Every structure is written in C-alpha cells, then in structure tokens.
C-alpha cells in the first residue's frame, strides 16, 4: 500500500497545498449527500484542502482534494441532446486523495458532451483503505446512487440507465458497489435509501484493490461477483506501475465465470493516472470505446 501511494505521488508530482475546500466551476453546485452527520465519521487531521500538482499529465497539472469529511455530488447535465443515461464518477487517489479534475470534472464534461449526465462524487478520504477495512467510501457511493435514482425524473434521467465509472481506487469503488448493493452499509436515512443502489453498468478504469495475492491469481473476496453484478467495461495498461493488469484480469475472469457481460481492453503502454487526457499513445482513445460499448449494451442510441 505504501508503494502504491508513493507511485501515485510521483505521478502527480510535488504539490502545493491550499487550505480551502474543492469547489466546482461556475454554473455547478455541490449537493451534500447526507442530510446530517455522515455515518461512521472519520476524524480528519484538518479541514478539507486542495492541492495543485507540480508534475504534468498530458501537459496539465492535477488538482486533488483530501480531508473530505462532507461528501457531495455535483451534477453535469447535457447542454443539448439528453440520452437519459447518467454516470456517477469516482475519482481515484488511493483512498487518500481525489484527483478532482483529471478523473472528475474533465470526465463529467466529456459525458455531458455526449448527452450523458455526469455526476461527480466527492467521497470521504482519507480513510483506512478499501472496503471492508473502511466502509465510508462505499457508503457514500451507495447513498449517491440512491439519490441520483430517486431524482431521476427531476434530472430527466432513465432510472434504469444509471451507471458508475471510476479510476484506480475509484475503479475499485465501482466494482465494490457493483457487488454490494443488496444491503446498505448504513441505517436508511430517507426515501433515497429505499430505491436500488445497484448500478446498471460499471466502468472501472485502471482499477486497484482487486488482485490481492501476487503468488496466486485470486480475486479480492471483498468483491463478491455474482450473476447480478452489472455489465462491466474494463481498461488497463500492461505497464501500469501502480495497479498491474492482473487487477483487471482477475475481475474479468470472475465476471465471465458468473455470466456477466464484460468487455476488457488491455494496452501495451499507458501507465497509470492518465484520465482521458490525450497523448500519442493508443490507450488515449478509450473514451470512444466506452461510447461504443454503451450503445452495444443498450444504454445509449
């Protein structure tokens, strides 16, 4: 785990910290997902803060957030054609930080440009790691799905076309909510907790925390795939120094064994934490692959 965090820090470069919470761009507002105190609250070492990386990814810095104790969603609605589909986006960062632009706002803007509502989840970090070591990120994901589905009519969404997309640790979170939806990990709060929190589809991009034994090719038992796990799109680079392709491969095998529709793309090069920023590498074309896949599974037309 320490090696993973070191590599993530290396990818983002040294960071200058600003003692201020993350805020979306003009025209967008954050919506708190818990009406009161969030369950299983974590004691933070200070207020929420943002950090601007000095390292560059595709010529741009990365803005990250940490010390998040009040999770929110921010809705990015299509300006033109609306397909009725929605995607809740989980930024990555080793469950320690959230890459809010690289794996958040930039992704939501792309989705909105394709007629898909992007919903950016700012979930609680840092925590003690992935579920079940810490339940808070998965609690936030379940709650966010319930809110989006319960407000589908208000946001002009089809409640049966709401999926998740996550990167790195966020990719694990996408797999976690895909396999933990029959029971909420918290006491119900309101009507939003009475609707299903099962995603209709999932897109884990360079996911981590899925392959747990480097001697044995075994799936993390905390991600119990069944035939009810939603259709899944996986993408990873073979030279990923943080989360090697075994994470995607072991999850792919489990999905296939359970009869879940799954599509896997492995590229020779690409590394880790590239988001959807364009480079000369072929892996940069992955958003087009996702768009095609969403059509093939009937989410968009």
Spatial separation of the C-alpha atoms in residues 164 and 198, rounded to whole Å: 10
Identify the DSSP state of 284. G
Residue 46: give the domain boundaries. 2-296
Cβ neighbours of residue 244 closer than 8 Å, sequence gap 6 or more: 211, 238
Residue 172 near residue 206 (C-beta atoms within 8 A): no
Query: Does residue 56 form part of some domain?
Result: yes
Confidence band for 54, pLDDT divided at 50, 70 and 90:
confident
Residue 124 near residue 140 (C-beta atoms within 8 A): yes
Query: Does residue 57 form part of some domain?
Result: yes
Cβ neighbours of residue 122 closer than 8 Å, sequence gap 6 or more: 22, 30, 65, 68, 71, 72, 73, 74, 98, 100, 104
Q: Residue 125 pLDDT > 80, yes or no?
A: yes
Task: Please indicate whether residue 214 or residue 32 has the higher confidence score (pLDDT).
Answer: 32
Residue 167 near residue 203 (C-beta atoms within 8 A): no
Please give the pLDDT value at position 214.
79
Cβ neighbours of residue 128 closer than 8 Å, sequence gap 6 or more: 134
Please give the pLDDT value at position 48.
95
Please give the pLDDT value at position 128.
81
Q: Residue 121 pLDDT > 60, yes or no?
A: yes
Spatial separation of the C-alpha atoms in residues 66 and 83, rounded to whole Å: 33
Query: Does residue 107 form part of some domain?
Result: yes
Ramachandran class of 62: left when φ > 0, alpha when ψ lies in -120 to 50, beta otherwise: beta
Spatial separation of the C-alpha atoms in residues 132 and 293, rounded to whole Å: 31
* Mean per-residue pLDDT, 46-75: 93
Query: Does residue 34 form part of some domain?
Result: yes
Q: What is the pLDDT of residues 240-298, one digit of tens each?
A: 999 999 999 999 999 999 999 999 999 999 999 999 999 999 999 999 999 999 999 99
Query: Does residue 301 form part of some domain?
Result: no
Q: Is the peptide bond before 126 cis (omega within 30 degrees of 0)?
A: yes
Quick count: other Cβ atoms within 10 Å of Cβ 272? Answer: 22
Task: Tally the domains of the chain.
Answer: 1
Cα dihedral sign, 244-42-53-22? positive
Q: Residue 165 pLDDT > 70, yes or no?
A: yes
Confidence band for 137, pLDDT divided at 50, 70 and 90:
very high
DSSP lists the bridge partners of residue 75 as 119
- CATH at residue 143: 3.40.50.1820
Q: How much of the chain exceeds pLDDT 70, in percent?
A: 94
State the pTM of this model. 0.94
Confidence band for 215, pLDDT divided at 50, 70 and 90:
confident
* Mean per-residue pLDDT, 24-52: 93
Please give the pLDDT value at position 10.
39
Please give the pLDDT value at position 17.
61
- Which range, of 78-82, 225-229, 251-255, averages the lowest pLDDT? 78-82
* Mean per-residue pLDDT, 168-190: 98
E-assigned strands of the chain?
15-18, 30-32, 49-53, 63-66, 72-76, 86-90, 98-99, 117-122, 162-167, 202-205, 232-237, 262-267
Q: What is the pLDDT of residues 85-98, one digit of tens each?
A: 999 999 999 999 99
Cβ neighbours of residue 299 closer than 8 Å, sequence gap 6 or more: 83, 85, 161, 163, 200, 201
Confidence band for 127, pLDDT divided at 50, 70 and 90:
confident
What is the residue-averaged pLDDT of the chain? 93
Place of tokens 């993530």: 8
Q: Residue 227 pLDDT > 50, yes or no?
A: yes
């Amino acid at each position: 785990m320490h090696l993973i965090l070191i590599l993530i820090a290396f990818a983002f470069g040294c960071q200058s910290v600003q003692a201020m919470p993350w805020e979306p761009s003009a025209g967008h507002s954050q919506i708190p997902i818990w009406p009161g105190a969030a369950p299983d609250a974590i004691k933070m070492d200070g207020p929420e803060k943002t950090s601007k990386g000095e390292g560059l990814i595709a010529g741009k810095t990365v803005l990250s957030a940490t010390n998040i104790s009040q999770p929110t969603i921010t809705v990015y609605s299509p300006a033109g054609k609306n397909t009725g589909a929605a995607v809740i986006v989980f930024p990555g960062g080793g469950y320690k930080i959230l890459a809010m632009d690289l794996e958040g706002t930039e992704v939501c803007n792309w989705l909105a440009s394709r007629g898909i509502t992007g919903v950016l989840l700012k979930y609680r970090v840092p925590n003690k790691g992935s579920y079940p070591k810490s339940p808070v990120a998965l609690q936030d994901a379940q709650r966010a799905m319930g809110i989006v589905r319960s407000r589908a009519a208000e946001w002009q969404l089809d409640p049966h076309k709401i999926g998740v997309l996550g990167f790195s640790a966020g990719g694990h979170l996408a797999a976690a909510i895909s396999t933990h939806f029959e029971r909420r990990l918290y006491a119900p709060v309101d009507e939003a907790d009475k609707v299903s929190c099962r995603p209709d589809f999932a897109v884990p991009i360079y996911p981590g925390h899925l392959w747990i034994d480097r001697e044995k090719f075994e799936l993390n038992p905390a991600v119990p795939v069944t035939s009810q796990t939603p259709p899944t799109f996986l993408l990873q680079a073979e030279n990923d120094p943080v989360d090697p392709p075994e994470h995607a491969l072991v999850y792919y095998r489990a999905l296939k064994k359970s009869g879940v529709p799954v599509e896997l793309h492995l590229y020779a090069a690409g590394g880790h934490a590239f988001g959807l920023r364009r480079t000369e590498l072929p892996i940069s074309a992955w958003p087009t692959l996702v768009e095609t896949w969403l059509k093939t599974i009937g989410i968009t037309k």
